[in-house]
Chain A
């Protein structure tokens, strides 16, 4: 991207010393608080995170080592108007994702109607044929989505990725806020900020609302973790604790007669809803990877029989697949009857000869991604790549074009960030968490802001030098604030 000036969310397009009028107070706060004081607070926050053990990578970043993800003390702010627009777009997007999943595991109208090429769904390993015909409670498959958004201007937001499997990172939203309330209380006096601490309650309500038929009066919900060796274990135990539900491992569950039971000291307790933080491949050795010891044999049979709700349902990977992503504008329109409120990033499907030709001619300007890659690996960022890296990707593209998509390098928005050289703009993205239950879609006003800490870097992944920030959503009605 290089030459184009990025939009700064606090200071606006000219990125001068003055803030956008609505954020004047934050501009003053940034200018007037000494860097040494900001540093002290930031270190206090990180020390607290280390003590809690929040040392994990976010979804799709399994490669990251067990270490603290850096926290930045300067928050990001959205106005009430910006958030209202984003929320409406997110609700529409997630409703479409669930309608799509209900359709592809059911009647597959979208294929019959020619909206998405059949091979992109049927030939996709993320479409699990053995689960075809599954009818989860209320037709909801992706109860928890972490939609990654990027921004290039005041009203220019784009969806970068739909995370519809087992998205993580919500504990950062909650812990970052805790730290900010403690360390920078004055900000919450300056601005009417929407609270996020009701997320565990909202999640619990969502889980309870999707209990199987006939089990809705007092459903038993549990959180299934791969165990304390998993990098996100802190989040698993934190969420189970906050909701007041049992945190279980595979050995604590047993399936009998297509019903899931939890072993307790008082005997077996029937389980109705499982918030599982184990990937599909490992969840049931009878159906998926036979060598998995993390899973529960018979779980898929209980799910197919409608006796337990899995959150998210197995097989949702087909909805957030990168090859499907490029069809999301059509998918949203197909199921909601309206244009997508939140646009996609322009995407070239290298499987299509015209697109491949364009991509090969413009590699130095593009971001090229593996359809089945994640975590910022298997990715070419043209403008910062070496000649050799570009040529390697060219060869890979020519050999297997169907495995790649390409996107323009966006001038991602920046937010002032505390660096070794003082406050400086750094690029950010945003992951709000969208809950879908029997009563509709709920979005707690907040999310995870990831920031690329290296100067000029566009890669926010924690495995590649990314950190996090608190994300403040301003309220129209200050009475609802913290």
Chain B
């Protein structure tokens, strides 16, 4: 079967000594930084992104990047359980019951449940990616400029739907991101745009500088607002092994979580966050003892953790097949691909099968490495939780500077980091979400190019977007999503969900 040939190629690529090594380094680095206080997965990846460029081979560097992603998410769950501080918004749900379990002295079991649930979900969803990616790719190969334009609109609109806070502000962030993405030389006419006459910005603003500034530095500044010492509840984690009853209790939630996560992860705009909330709600509803939730229910950790990880995996589907990022992390992956000279989109599967299937296979290997490494290493991670924050950020600033500079050896990129750090912090203070901005930045040039191509092909007739069936369906979808998020009842519900998260 073709699927198995493809998977075999993927595993052959991912299990070479070299690639396994990078996967391992990625997973370790990701967990390390994910566990350290105050830095979430997106910021982690943004900061480690430049390091991966030092590896010559794009396959290895993307495998490492994917490893950082899983690692950081795992680290986020660890902090959620042990100190009630979710590293990522998607592990915010885990903190509810995980922390309660830790308070009852069952931190080890909570961590094990999270790891087992994540691994199971990761295994299933890796297969889902392998099964669904090729047919989607063949559909995507028939896409013209108009379809691509409409598809990106869907992606951008969905990112608004899943951002917390004001819809208007999220829309504004998309527009701002798109505009920032246009800085640099216009590919069609060769005109420099918005460069303020600075020659160093002729190739556009550095993607790494933007990501590091808006996510990394803004986060450091927010953490410096009121410095407090974190209380680590558990100094030593013992009793990792769940009992037979625990296994019984987590089995069904893991299955349901995996199904929910896999379905929602494909949605552009960050399905993983939604997935963990949806799973928690479902578990609470089907549970025989719903009063246990919020007091340390195993199902409240197993379900959302599986959903979260399944969603994280399936969010690779739109990225790998269509070149459309489903969340900020995927936007970072696309940025990494572009810097490595790979054009993201449906052609990746046919032109670079080793890369495509290698990444898919490495997902599973990354998850396996996580479960093998992290359970024994948990003592080390717990120690890291106690590292004082003021020691960390000078180190982070030094590495950020090196990282951004190493991409192009362009000093102006470092000035851009400072600017975007300030911008990111200001936006955060004004309660504007940075995720839609990053998606807009990545998609800006592509969106414009496809818009212009579609308009040339249709001889200036904008109705081409609604007369071509696929494009029309996609645009209708975007309109529906936008209408739904603006509906008062949905808005209220959405506010509740995000309030719970905070």
A-B complex is real = no
